[in-house]
Structure 1
């Protein structure tokens, strides 16, 4: 009974399967195969989580990855429908560049980067994936980049300036 009540309270998340890979472990008798599933879960409002699950069957790996993604939820700083500033992050050989975009631009991203930023609730962004195309490292680099983001208010306080001076040029044009 308590378990049902817990599920009813649980938020509805946008869950996306980013990658399903067959991985092998070499043992005495040969190779032992498992599946690695990478899932991104977000609430489309600035909360995002990454989960990686491994199991002998895909559904079991998906269940593990989903649970881990829900546990690893983090809040990221958004500025309306985009991100507050440009950011670069690198994990392994994969490097990801995220740039804010003006309203109506859409999500200009490919593969794993698109899944992560859309689940986070970003609607306007320019991205570039550089270096390795290893999907797991690209997704981890995107998460690392999103975690580096700081709100315009925080940066303005650190610099001792008003937040409106830090707004992107397309937003300053509206005011003045």
Structure 2
């Protein structure tokens, strides 16, 4: 006597979709949300579902709407320095220098999160850094990038390639020595400082890090030294009671 084969029953091509009252055949889900961009799947003569369905979005889907975090990603052009616009920010260099996992110990236990530090710059004297923390790496990097855009600072460069003079700076347990160099010398320094100089637009410089080499301290010390420790010819001339031309001739050589 032959045994009767038993198999799984065929699943009907119906589904319950949020926003639709009764279970019906698959509707056009793009009417519910633009990310659900597939047409209803069609079944062939044998009852099999056809997976080769046409898309309403032939190009990249609008993933920015999914990743956007209100309050963290909105950048007002009026808050940007130096007359920059949002279109200018798209051409900025972005360097994610630090990504690490952190934990916050509470009475309920350890709460893990991701930390990111991002440096942005246009390579022409404007740069900034920002920090972000979130449960996911992508969102933490996004928060850090937008905060870096809000913290843009203009840096003074001699001949648009190096710093005006040698700088010795201390930030907590980190000590850094910056040395201005002649044209063609290049950036011979710590790899974090190298990325920062690339974003700022400094082409010739050497640096030595002493003490703590914590990346966050190195990055913050570099920005602090470039913004607070540089003495411009105008400041030197004002303090010595001389003309700017005389100061430039004495400190930086004769210039036409």
TM-score, length of structure 2 as denominator length: 0.61
Q: Distance in 2 between matches of 1:9 and 1:76?
A: 18
Aligned-partner SS, 1:19: strand
Given the alignment, which residue of 202, 223, 232 partners 1:151? Answer: 232
In structure 2, what is the equivalent of residue 104 of structure 1? 184
In structure 2, what is the equivalent of residue 69 of structure 1? 148
Could you say which structure has the higher helix fraction? 1
Mapping of residues 1-16 of structure 1, within 5 Å: 7-8=86-87, 10=89, 12-16=91-95
In structure 1, what is the equivalent of residue 197 of structure 2? 117
Q: Following TM superposition, by how much is the alpha carbon of 1:11 offset from its aligned partner in structure 2, in angstroms?
A: 5.6
Q: Following TM superposition, by how much is the alpha carbon of 1:72 offset from its aligned partner in structure 2, in angstroms?
A: 0.5
Q: Following TM superposition, by how much is the alpha carbon of 1:29 offset from its aligned partner in structure 2, in angstroms?
A: 3.2
Aligned-partner SS, 1:48: strand
Mapping of residues 28-43 of structure 1, within 5 Å: 28-43=107-122
In structure 2, what is the equivalent of residue 127 of structure 1? 207
Q: Following TM superposition, by how much is the alpha carbon of 1:9 offset from its aligned partner in structure 2, in angstroms?
A: 5.3
Aligned-partner SS, 1:22: strand
Give the gaps of 5 or more residues in structure 2.
Answer: 1-74, 78-84
Change in CA separation of 1:9 and 1:123 when aligned onto 2, cut-off 3 Å: closer
Change in CA separation of 1:110 and 1:82 when aligned onto 2, cut-off 3 Å: same
Q: Distance in 2 between matches of 1:164 and 1:153?
A: 13
Cα RMSD after superposing both structures = 2.1
Aligned-partner SS, 1:41: strand
In structure 2, what is the equivalent of residue 78 of structure 1? 157
Aligned-partner SS, 1:90: strand
Given the alignment, which residue of 210, 217, 225 partners 1:137? Answer: 217
In structure 2, what is the equivalent of residue 166 of structure 1? 251
Q: Following TM superposition, by how much is the alpha carbon of 1:13 offset from its aligned partner in structure 2, in angstroms?
A: 1.0
TM-score, length of structure 1 as denominator length: 0.86
Q: Distance in 1 between matches of 2:95 and 2:185?
A: 22
Q: Tell me: higher relative CO, structure 1 or 2? Use CA pairs within 8 A at least 6 residues apart.
A: 1
Q: Following TM superposition, by how much is the alpha carbon of 1:86 offset from its aligned partner in structure 2, in angstroms?
A: 1.0
Could you say which structure has the higher strand fraction? 1
8 Å CA contact 1:78–1:151 kept in 2: the answer is: no
Q: Following TM superposition, by how much is the alpha carbon of 1:142 offset from its aligned partner in structure 2, in angstroms?
A: 0.4
Give the gaps of 5 or more residues in structure 1.
Answer: none
8 Å CA contact 1:47–1:73 kept in 2: the answer is: yes
